[in-house]
Every structure is written in C-alpha cells, then in structure tokens.
Structure 1
Amino acid sequence: MTTPRPAQARLALLACILASSLVGMDSLMTTVALSSIAETLDVGMSAQQWVLAAFLVTLGSLLLVGGALGDVYGRWRVFRWGTAAFGLAAAICALAPNAPTLIAGRMVQGAAAALLLPNVLAVLTSMFSGEARSKAIGSWSAWSGLSVIAGPPVGGLVISLVSWPGVYWLEVPLALSVLALIVKADPRTDDRGRGRVDLVGALLAVPAIGGVAFYLIQGASLGWSSPGALAALGAGIGCGVVFLWWERRTTDPLLPLTLFRIRDFTVINIVTFILYGGLISCGTYTVLFLQDFRGYPPAVAGLVSAIPIIVLFASSSRFGALADRYGARLFIGGGAIVAGLGILILLLVGSEADLYTVVIPSTLVHGIGLSMLVAPLTAGVMSSVDEERTGAASGVNNAVARIGSMLAIAVVGLLISAQFSTNVDEQLARLDPGPELKTAVAAAAEQPLAGSLPADATDAQRDAVEPLLRDASLDAFRTAVVVMGGLAVLAGAVTLVGMRRPPRRLSAEGTLGCPITGVRIHRDEPAISPLRRAPADLLPDAANPG
C-alpha cells in the first residue's frame, strides 16, 4: 500500500472538513428556508414537512449502507460518488419549480449524504496514523463544528438577500470544491474489500420508514381511513416486519439486532429516539413560528436557532469532564430534562414581542441541557458494547437519531394542524361564516402557525377572523411545545431509570462525538475508526435544537 504524501494528507483533511460542513449546513439552512419555500411555491405545512422528512428518510435508511459500500468498493470511490450526487441534488433543489421536484431532490440529497458521511472519517483514518491521526480528527471536528454554527445565520442571510434557491446554489460550488480536492488527495490505492452489502435490507428499510412517514404527514388530508393512506401505512409496517425477519437470518445484516440484547445499548437508543425527536422538531417548528407568526426575517430566525449550537460548542467538553467524575447517567438524564425545561419556557410566548424575554432565554437553557448530555451520550453508546463492536453501535445510534427526528417532525406537525383546526372550527361555529370566508379559513389552515388569511383575503374577512386565527396558531404552537419539551423530559427519565453502569469506561471529556462535530470515535482508541461498516459520522440535524 502506498504511503500518502503530506500534501495529499492535508488536502484529504480539507476535503473531509468541507464535505462534513456541506451536509451539516444544508440541514440547518433548509430549516430556516422552509417559510420562504412555502411562500414561493404556494404550499402548506405538509410540503414543508416533506422537505425535511424526505432527506431524513433516505439518510436514516441508507446510512449503514454507505459504510458497507465503502468497505466493498473503496472509501475514496464512495466518498466521491456521494459528493457528486449531493452537489447534483442541490442543483435540482435550487431549480425546483414545484414542491414534488424539491422533495425528490431532497430524497436524493439524503441518499448522497448516506454515501458521503460514513466514509469521511474512514478517509481520514486511512491518510493519518498515530498522533497525527488524533490531531487530524480534532481539526476536522473543530472546523466542521464551526461551520455548523455558521449554517443558520448564513442561510438566513442568503434567503433574505436571494430567496431560498440561493441556499442550494451555495452548496454546488462547495461540492465541486470537495470533488476537486478528492481528485488531488486520492492516493489511488486499492482499498476495496470482500464484504457484502445488505441491499435487501436497504430496499426494505426505505419503504418501511417512508410508508409510516407518508401516513403521518398525508393522512389528515387524504383521510386516515382512505385507501391511499392505509396502503402506505400497511406497506410501511409490512416492509418493517420483513426487514426485521431478514436482518435476523442474513449473515451480514444492515442492522445487527444482537446489539439490542445489551441493556444499556437498548436504553441509550430509546433515549436517542425520543430525545432527538423532541430536539429536532423543536428546532423546526420554533423557526417556523418565528417567521410565520412573529414575522421575523430568516436572518433573525437563523441567528436564534444557532444559539444552542454555540452554547454546545463552547461548553460540551466541560460537562464531559464533569460526567467523567460523577457518572454519565446523571448528565445524560439531567441534561435531557434541562433541555426539555428550556423548550417548555416557550409556553410563555404570546402575541407581543418576546424574542429577548422568552425565546432567547429558552434557547440558552436548551443549549445548556444539550451541552450536558451530548458527550456523555456518545461515550455511553461506545462504552455499552465491546470495543470491536463500537463502529456498529455508533452507526445504529446515528440511524436511530435520524429516524426519531423524522417521525417526530411528522407527528408534531400533525398535532399542530389538528389543534389549529379544532380551535378554529369551535370559534367559527359561533360566527356562522359565509362560504367565501370558510374557503379563506380553509386556505389559512394550510399554514397553521401563520395565524393569518391568504394575501387575497378582503379587509372585512381579516377583521372578522384573523384575531381568532392568531389565537388558534398560538395555542397550536403551545401544544407542540408541551409535546416537544415532554419528549426531552421523558428521555431524561428513561435514562435515569433504565441506564446502568457501562461494562467499560470511556472518557466523555476526551470523546469527540457529539451532534455538533459528529465524530463517533474516542481520541485514545484510533483502532475503532476503521469499522466503517456502521459509520462514524456527523449528526448535522441534531445540531439544530431550536
């Protein structure tokens, strides 16, 4: 095997930093862009949900496949495929004339990210060794983290100046730059292996997750008992059952189910599923609320959503050191509860300006809770299994976080729409509105957090119903806050009750893994990193807690 030249190694490090930043910034900028997308493409909340869910469905389903493909076909080759596909999909999103095209582009982006992310760290570990490897991983995690912090405000600024397609056009030259660096840095060695890719598992996982997501997002508009909705739900559940059956019998499973025989591993993944559902849905719907209901520009919403990430980046290692001293269980459980209480502060929002008195304090408390739990959570995942299975454990935990986020976005959106419609229907029953007003109100229900009628409504119609629409939107958002904060608090309670002392100990302070950096590897254990089968990768969406 040819030893990489120092110049090649430096270029590889830069390529990995830019690639991780590309995916991390995309997720955060897209969240900030949702209001602009809805306004430009004239779509409702269900389409906004799909813009996020489409990405998470393919990413969560195929994340483990990307690492396996790197094992079989070569990490550099799959890294290049993922980067090229991500840039092409970004161009499709930027040019999308309608919501279906945009959603299709987001699905391709998710699949491309599933190829790219697992192989980023594998490339780094192949180009560096010993102390240089630890330094390279540290540089990668730090610079990737800083770029994630920049994602929301940069996205908000681009949207304010150019509109939402500018977010995706920004990604195209970044992807081309990564491709150019890959061409220069690739040592042209044959790093292919003899493993096998569980394509059957991958083909079953996508419809299993996507079918359930379709039912949750589209069920209200199609009718919960309509043939189309029930067919999607049945297909999702059926594929899920077959997927579990297949994974039990195949010799090279996509999802190693034997890991779930380990109590702490199972508990931590349950906690991850619940917790990330609350955190990511909070980030999504708080940004929508700030723009749609309160009328803040995308740049302001982006800056606010970056606050928890900044707090996390500044203080995560300090809490990791405390967790090493007093135990990970206390800090994972306590951090989740603190984050949940931070979310619940949003119950104090009203119709008046309360950005500085409610929203920003909420994000600060939220960020402190996140800082308390992320490093111990990563160390907990890694220490719950034997060393040779840490790669598989981290990959499963990453996929669980994505799927939990996607399902929570769907469920919370459903609750917002249902609560809004219930409140409006109760109020309209007292007004006896005419058919034109009913039509206008039905159109307003497509954006339940906006609290306003469509632009073509008359002044008389606005005077008649907009006050009650704003009350209904505010009540719907508060209902969502209770659910999102409750999920985080529940995750904390499950941790405190269910988690035991891990069989082996890893330092949370020295663990680089957390949602903002996404490095699922311990500084002092470089032998973990080649286990690309279950990837060591970014968790970009988890860095968008509010």
Structure 2
Amino acid sequence: MSGVTVSSAAGRWLIAGSVLGSGVAFLDSTVVNVALPAISRDLDTGLQGQQWVLDGYMLTLGALILAGGAAGDRYGRRRVFVLGLGLFAIATIACALAPTAGWLIAARIVQGVGAAAVVPGSLALIDAEIVPEERGRAIGLWAGMSGATTALGPFVGGWLVDTGSWRWVFFLSVPLALGAMWIAVRHIPESRDLADAGSLDIAGAAAITVGLAGIIYALIEGPAQGWDAPIIAAAAIGVLAIIAFMVIETRATAPLLPLDLFRSAQFTGANLTTLMVYAGLGGALFLLALQLQQSMGYSALEAGMATMPFTVIMLFGSPLAGRLAGLTGPRLPMTIGPLIAATGLALMARIVPGTGYYDAVLPAVVVFGLGMTITVAPLTAAALGAVDATRSGIASGVNNAVARIASLLAVAVLPVVAGLDTGPGQPLGSGFSTAMIIAAICCAAGGLIAFATIRSGAGPRPHVQPSVSHACQPPEPASEEY
C-alpha cells in the first residue's frame, strides 16, 4: 500500500492533526499582532519592544526550522512533531504569565524553538503518508486551513484582549497544542527517512541562529540606541556567522541545508518568490494591526474584525486554488497571485486617519486576500514537487524557513526604512503608507520571479515516499528527475 487517501478515516485524522499543529504555530505568529498595543501599555514598551515580541519568536523559528525538518526525517517525523508541540505549550504558558517585556521576549524565543519542530513536520507528515495522486489536494487543504487559522488570529486575539487580557491570547494555544499531540500519538503513524542515519548539523544550526540574531539585533536596536560600536559589532558578527553557515554547509557530511537542492530552478524560484511575498505579508500584518489601533482608534476586536474578509477568502479559496494549480501548473497562479496581493498592499497605503472602513480598509484587505489565496497552495506544492519525497522534511523546512525569515526581516527593516519610531500607543504617522508601498514592491517582485523561474507545465509531478517506518510496502520511486 502506497499510503492513505484524503477521504479515509486515517487521512482525515492525519490532516486534522497536521493542520491543528501547524495552525497553532501559525496562529501564534499572528494572534499576537493585535495584542501588541495592549502588551505595550501593560509592560511599558514602545515600537522597539513590539518588534522584539514578534521577532523573538520568528528568530528561532526561522533559524531552527531547517533543523526541525532534518530531525523529523532522521529521528521520526511524528516524534519530533509531538516533542515540538510539548515545548511550545510550556513556553506559551510562560508567555501568558510574563511580568516584564524581557520575560515575554525570552519565552517567545523558546516558543519559536518548539514551533521549528512543528511546522515542517506537519507538512512532511502529509507528504509522507498521503497517496501521490491526492497530495496536491491534501496540500491545498493544509494550506487553506492553516492559512485561515493564521488569518483568524487577529479576530480571536482582538476579542480576547477586549473581553479579558492579552495574556489569554497565549493561553488559547495551550489546549490546541495538547489536542494536536493527542491526535498525533493516537492516529498518525511514524515515518522517517531510513537512508538518513547521520548526525544533525549542530554547527550549521548554531551559525545560522547567531547570524540571524546578530543582524536582527542590529536592525532593531540600531535606530533606537544609535549605531555605536556594540551595534556594529553585532551586525558584523551576524554577517560573518551567515558566511560561516554557508561554508559549513559545503563541508558537512550531513548538511542542515543541502545546497544541491538549489540546482533545481523551480525550487530556487519558489523560495525566492516565498521570500518576497512573505516579506510583504509579515510587514503588512504587523503594521496594519498597529495602524488601526494606535493611529485610527480601533479597539482590538474592531482591528481583528477588520481583517475577517481575508480569513474567509483564505478559508474557502485556497483548496480551490490548489486544485486549479494542478490543472494550469504553478507558474500562472504564482505570477498572478503576488501581483494581486501587491495591489492590495498598495491600497493599504490609503488606510490613514480620516478614511473609513468601507472605502479604505475593506478593498485593500479583500484584494490582498485574493492574491494570497491564489499564491499559497501552488507555491507550497511547487517547492515540494521540485525535490524527491525522501527529502520532503528538509524541503518543507527550507520553504518554511524562508517564509519566517522573510517576516522576521520585514518586521525589523520596514519600520526603519519607513521612518517609524513611536512610543507606547503612539500613532505611526506617514511612515505607515511608505511601509505599505515598500511591501507592495516586494510582493510584486515575487510574482515576476515566479514568472521567470517556475515551470509552465501541469504542475509538480507526483512523487513517492520510498522510506517509511510503518508496515506499508511503497512503490518503486520515480526514476525521472524533476
């Protein structure tokens, strides 16, 4: 037997557990956005602290997600998935109880470590267990439901902040994580790459973490403290560590990031598109929540409800987009989608004090949602379809790492480039519109990259999972390179 079908009981449990696990990690990356003004007031921190609350989480998530994917392939995808959820739940409780901004940021960093094990594992479990002919449909369901979970964050977070406290934003994730753990242990079989018996690339993981930490520290702290010697030293250490990471990966016997993956033009193009599109997405979600509350007087719940059309479009549109991409190939939707999303971001530049919801906010959110819906499912499928299924964990890790690093950089860089520097609860000023135009340019560039690099054929060809640990006899692996 080559796997399970989407409509089978095993397939439904698999998708439910994967979506719930990844959804918790994705939800936590956006649900906090709408709570940032309340956190800022309660813990007495300004824009700099708000950036760290988001980037502390995305730093370790982006840096270690490659290790999470590789660990799942090597030691068992279900095992790493469950352990990551457990660590995430513990760190989330620490976030909810944080008495200071420093405590909260430290707990968010640990949260990111747990999420780095969960996110690549969720998609790798689907790719390993679902029959080849239904993987596109399964990925579409995963993308749509996980994307909707992400987009639902601002609404849920806003309601919790207004009716209770920002601390409930974190408590919300604990039962969800425990539920995903239960499903995984009871209903998802273990799988791994039996051919991969080497040790983890610890040196590579340390180098990329130090590199990103140094660069992000300089980008966030430099504008606030001045570009003195410690800040410049942090930036220099970060750059050197990134260079060291690349050198380590060329020499490691079991590299964290096998550079030969990028011999595939489609894999490279898909990840460059991901970098540009998710930079726009991360910057927009961060700054829009602040603009609506701190500049336009929305409550947390009103700010969350303002983005509900995005949620609805992602929820119902992504599975359809995945199926259509299977017919047209990924190139067309990956070109058109980012361009539409860029138009939505450009429209967000009009969301300023004095404008109304229906004439400024709603059109921008709807257009942006349509663009992202068209983009997400084929983008994910194109990245995974460019590599052999035995490397699904690392391919998923690379693509998710690129997405998180894109958001990480956007949160750090956009306020600097746009000239934003506000105290607790202060309006963002004209810099918000500048930031949205920059985000739109990034997103449009992603569409142009996809047009130049992605195949125009009928989409990624099915691939098989030749090495699984449960009692299934897989078919012979596809012999054709792609």
Q: TM-score, normalised by structure 2?
A: 0.85
For 1:450, the equivalent position in structure 2 comes to 426
Q: Is the 8 A contact 1:283 1:305 kept in 2?
A: no
Is residue 195 of structure 1 aligned with residue 198 of structure 2?
Answer: yes
- State the Cα distance separating 1:308 from its structure 2 match: 2.1
Residue type at the aligned position of 1:493: L
- State the Cα distance separating 1:143 from its structure 2 match: 5.3
Aligned counterpart for 1:209 among listed residues 212, 234, 237 = 212
- State the Cα distance separating 1:253 from its structure 2 match: 0.8
Residue type at the aligned position of 1:223: G
- Taking a change above 3 Å as real, the CA distance of residues 22 and 374 of structure 1, as seen in their structure-2 partners, is closer
Aligned counterpart for 2:251 among listed residues 227, 241, 249 = 249
Q: Is the 8 A contact 1:121 1:529 kept in 2?
A: no
Distance across 2 between alignment mates of 1:361 and 1:300: 16
Q: Is the 8 A contact 1:28 1:152 kept in 2?
A: yes
- Taking a change above 3 Å as real, the CA distance of residues 177 and 326 of structure 1, as seen in their structure-2 partners, is closer
- State the Cα distance separating 1:355 from its structure 2 match: 1.3
Q: Is the 8 A contact 1:219 1:229 kept in 2?
A: yes
Deviations 1:446-490 (A, max 9, x none): 25x833xxxxxxxxxxxxxxxxxxxxx431111112211121122
- Taking a change above 3 Å as real, the CA distance of residues 528 and 499 of structure 1, as seen in their structure-2 partners, is farther
Quote the sequence identity (%): 36
- Taking a change above 3 Å as real, the CA distance of residues 333 and 530 of structure 1, as seen in their structure-2 partners, is farther
Q: Alignment partner of 1:39: what SS?
A: helix
For 2:472, the equivalent position in structure 1 comes to none
Distance across 1 between alignment mates of 2:412 and 2:32: 16
Distance across 1 between alignment mates of 2:271 and 2:117: 23
- State the Cα distance separating 1:17 from its structure 2 match: 4.0
Is residue 218 of structure 1 aligned with residue 221 of structure 2?
Answer: yes
Deviations 1:323-358 (A, max 9, x none): 555553333222212211111112323421411111
For 2:459, the equivalent position in structure 1 comes to 506
- State the Cα distance separating 1:399 from its structure 2 match: 1.0
Distance across 1 between alignment mates of 2:65 and 2:344: 31
Is residue 313 of structure 1 aligned with residue 267 of structure 2?
Answer: no
Aligned counterpart for 2:354 among listed residues 343, 352, 355 = 352
Is residue 78 of structure 1 aligned with residue 69 of structure 2?
Answer: no
Q: Alignment partner of 2:353: what SS?
A: coil
Q: Is the 8 A contact 1:153 1:299 kept in 2?
A: yes
Deviates more, 1:116-125 or 1:69-78: 116-125
Distance across 1 between alignment mates of 2:430 and 2:71: 47
Residue type at the aligned position of 2:284: C
- State the Cα distance separating 1:260 from its structure 2 match: 2.4
Q: Is the 8 A contact 2:318 2:373 kept in 1?
A: yes
Q: TM-score, normalised by structure 1?
A: 0.76
Distance across 1 between alignment mates of 2:106 and 2:398: 25
For 1:484, the equivalent position in structure 2 comes to 439
Distance across 1 between alignment mates of 2:131 and 2:417: 50
- State the Cα distance separating 1:76 from its structure 2 match: 3.4
Residue type at the aligned position of 1:489: A
Q: Is the 8 A contact 1:134 1:526 kept in 2?
A: no
Aligned counterpart for 2:260 among listed residues 249, 258, 261 = 258
Q: Alignment partner of 2:35: what SS?
A: helix
For 2:153, the equivalent position in structure 1 comes to 151
Q: Alignment partner of 2:348: what SS?
A: helix
Aligned residues: CA RMSD? 3.3
- State the Cα distance separating 1:492 from its structure 2 match: 2.4
Deviations 1:28-79 (A, max 9, x none): 2111111111111110111111111111111111112112222343333322
For 1:512, the equivalent position in structure 2 comes to none
- State the Cα distance separating 1:281 from its structure 2 match: 0.5
Structure 2 unaligned residues grouped into runs of 5+: 470-482
Q: Alignment partner of 2:233: what SS?
A: helix
Deviates more, 1:97-106 or 1:131-140: 131-140
Distance across 2 between alignment mates of 1:72 and 1:482: 43
Q: Is the 8 A contact 2:137 2:322 kept in 1?
A: no
Structure 1 unaligned residues grouped into runs of 5+: 421-444, 452-472, 508-521, 532-546
Matches for 1:416-435 after TM superposition, within 5 Å: 416=418, 418=419
